[in-house]
Chain A
Amino acid sequence: MKQFFAFVKKEFYHIFRDRRTLFILLALPIVQIIIFGFALTNEVKNTKVAVLDQSHDNATASLIHEIDASKYFDLAVNIHSQSEIENIFKTGAAKLVIVLPASFESDLQHLNTAQVQLIADASDPNTATTLINYATSVIRDYQQRITDERKIPYTISAQVRMLYNPQMKGAYSFVPGVMAMVLMLVCTLMTAITIVREKELGTMEVMLVSPLQPLKIILAKAVPYLLLSIVNISSILLLSVFVLDVPINGSLLLLMMESILFIITCLSFGLLISAGTDSQQTAMFIALTGMFLPTVMLSGFMFPVENMPLPLRIISNVVPAKWFYIIVKSVMIKGVNLSGIWKETLILIGMTIFLLSMAIKKFKIRLA
């Protein structure tokens, strides 16, 4: 045990000696959570729209005003012919064009029916769908208003309540996602190069002739990073609560425990990469290029997992960040206790045991 602690101490010295790296390791998650917490949102707001008003009457004026006034849209340009639309999209001056036909008002007054055509730049299909939906609902509101108090009999009305996130803030889904991603990548990166670095610098031989067992060598390497990561998760949580206004509705202790579990999972994964590679370059390449996109895309925080084709849904199960994302969302925002997330917790524990034992096994092979 004494030997073990001596090793841990040695690893600590390594980390603390390199102030610049230490600074990066601690500052990186803070900067990222702030930038992403504020900047990332799937909401569509202030989108530039162009209007092709062929009628120029009171009705179109007030409809255009309504659209401009909504928080989703900013009226960017007025165009005067159909032929301008393509150019508007190509230069990116607007993402949506609203076409109001000639005789809009008279149609509405005399025939009680009028047409509006929406044309969206669907090179980004997600934004296009959302824009069309929002524009439709703004137009529907307008119609409701002109229909006014003409009470219609036999009406079913619906009362809608938004649970957990009544203001529909983007941060509520992005903060847990960014947490999962930042921790996953930082933790894996940290340990991914520890062992391989010793191999590359030739100090590995020195370690191997020491009386410490391989298991303990590996653990000793992980312990300092675990403590560093606990500092990181604490700063991330403080920022989310006090700067980004994302509440911790569940137990803070549970959230911390789950985070530590996830950190250990990622550190183990890093160790496995490190034990299995021969150069820092390869290790980092695997840790970053190999994991970055899959973590972003398959953890369910950018794209809903249930929409994915079956093979990808299966693959997404081996992405640890997916499970941690569910856990953080549940504990932090829904306020669920352990009974609600035991399954996810068990999966993470299982992954950790698997990754760690694989790392040790790989490491032993190197010994022979």
Chain B
Amino acid sequence: MRTLLFLLQKEFRQVFRDPSIIRMIFVMPSIQLLVLPWAADYEVKNINLVVVDHDHSAYTQKLISTITASGYFQLDIYTASYTDALHEIEQDRADIVLEIPATFEKDFIKEQHTNLFIAVNAINGTKAGLGSAYLQTILTDYNKDIRVKFIQQPKFNTAPVINVTYSNWFNPLMNYKYFMVPGIIVILLTMVGSFLASLNIVKEKETGTIEQINVTPIKKYHFILGKLIPFWILGLMILTIGLTISYFAYGIVPAGGFLTIYIFAAVYLLAVLGLGLLVSTYCGTQQQAMLISFFLMMIFTLMGGLYTPIDSMPEWAQWITRFNPVTYFIEVMRMVVLKGSSLADIRKHIFIVLGFAAVLNTWAVLSYRKRS
């Protein structure tokens, strides 16, 4: 026990001796947490529309003003030909082309049927799908409006109509920050925890100080615990800063209580730090440790369900997410912060992450050799 205390003292001194690292550990995550959530808005709006109006009739005028009034579309560009409109799309100045044929009004009145042409930049499939859906909904409404002028509407609907109403639970105002901020906290915590732990041991290897530790009677688990505990405490401090910022800057109060988050984070950090230790036992240089941590980090982050939905991933990728601790923490954050889940609700997550922690740390202890 005393050995461990001395080791801890040494580690803490080492960490706090370098002021630039300390500053980065605390300042960088705080700044990112203050800035980045504002960027996270998937909502499809401000779609740039370019109109090619060959008809120039009263109908097209009204159609265009209906579209701009919807709020989804920005309409600054009118071109004389479809080719010019396509050029606007090529140059990224427009997302959707609406081409109105010269016979638009005539066809409508005489043939009672008229056609429009829509071309969408579909590189981003989601934006394209939603953008064209919005435009078509507006068209349908517009169509309904002008049809009324031509046909005397009966009192009751002649065709069956299904009215769809909807509500959004847990986040009725669709505030993206409620969703992103907890996720970003998870990522920052994971990054700082796993990098620091893995770099720390490798650094001792690289500078040769690990030899000195190895010739002392310190036991393996002393050494590992000595490395683990300081970063565990640092991690919880970062979590505290993160939650404080999310309360003051974004007004986020976890519906399920802070304690639930702390309990999960405490277990989670063990798993993440275990991973860092494991990486460091297999690496000889800081560069290698860094590259491997970075590789894992990128996969963990991008496949954690924060940016893209896990349900949409192919089966094998979903299997990867099951071994991704970040997935569980992000899910827990969402459950606790927004849905008010309690410890009982997240017990499955806690056990899984506890399992990760046990496996990773045991593995790290076993593969750490005093003689390299």
Contacts and interface: CB of A to CB of B under 8 A. Distances in A.
A221 interface: no
Identify which of A41, A85, A114, A142 gathers the most chain B CB atoms within 10 Å of its CB.
A41
A234 interface: no
Interface in A57-113: 85-86, 89-92, 95, 108-109, 111-113
B243 interface: no
B294 interface: yes
B185 to A, nearest CB: 11
Contacts of A306: 46
Nearest to A332: B123
Contacts of A31: 295
Interface string A275-314: 0011111101110111011101110001110111101100
B213 interface: no
A117 B165 contact: yes
B92 A168 contact: no
Contacts of A165: 122-123, 125, 128
A292 B172 CA distance: 31
B187 A154 contact: no
B303 A35 contact: yes
B314 A150 contact: no
A163 B43 contact: no
A358 B55 CA distance: 57
Taking residues whose C-beta sits less than 8 angstroms from the other chain, chain B's interface range is 35 or more
B19 to A, nearest CB: 10
Nearest to A87: B345
Contact of A292 (B163, B301, B314): B301
Given A46-B311, A125-B176, A193-B290, A147 B298 contact: no
B204 to A, nearest CB: 12
Contact of B164 (A40, A139, A170, A193): A139
A333 B122 CA distance: 10
A21 B188 CA distance: 25
Interface string B120-156: 1111111111101101100100110011001100001
Identify which of B114, B122, B162 gathers the most chain A CB atoms within 10 Å of its CB.
B162
Taking residues whose C-beta sits less than 8 angstroms from the other chain, chain A's interface range is 35 or more
Given A112-B159, A125-B171, A172 B133 contact: no
B36 A297 contact: yes
Contact of A285 (B89, B170, B195, B207): B195
B372 interface: no
A129 interface: yes
Contact of A35 (B130, B176, B320): B320
Nearest to B42: A126
A29 B156 CA distance: 62
B262 interface: no
B308 A288 contact: no
Interface of B: 18, 20-21, 24, 28-29, 32, 35-36, 38-46, 86, 89-92, 108, 112-130, 132-133, 135-136, 139, 142-143, 146-147, 150-151, 156-172, 174-176, 178-179, 184, 187-188, 191-192, 195, 199, 203, 207, 284-288, 290-295, 297-299, 301-303, 307-309, 311-314, 317, 320, 331, 334-335, 338-339, 341, 345
6 contacts: A31-B295, A95-B311, A112-B158, A154-B143, A156-B108, A278-B20
Interface of A: 18, 20-21, 24-25, 28, 31-32, 35-36, 38-48, 85-86, 89-92, 95, 108-109, 111-130, 132-133, 135-137, 139-140, 142-143, 146-147, 150, 152-166, 168-170, 172-173, 181-182, 185, 189, 193, 197, 200, 277-282, 284-286, 288-290, 292-294, 296-298, 302-304, 306-309, 311-312, 315-316, 326, 329-330, 333-334, 336, 340
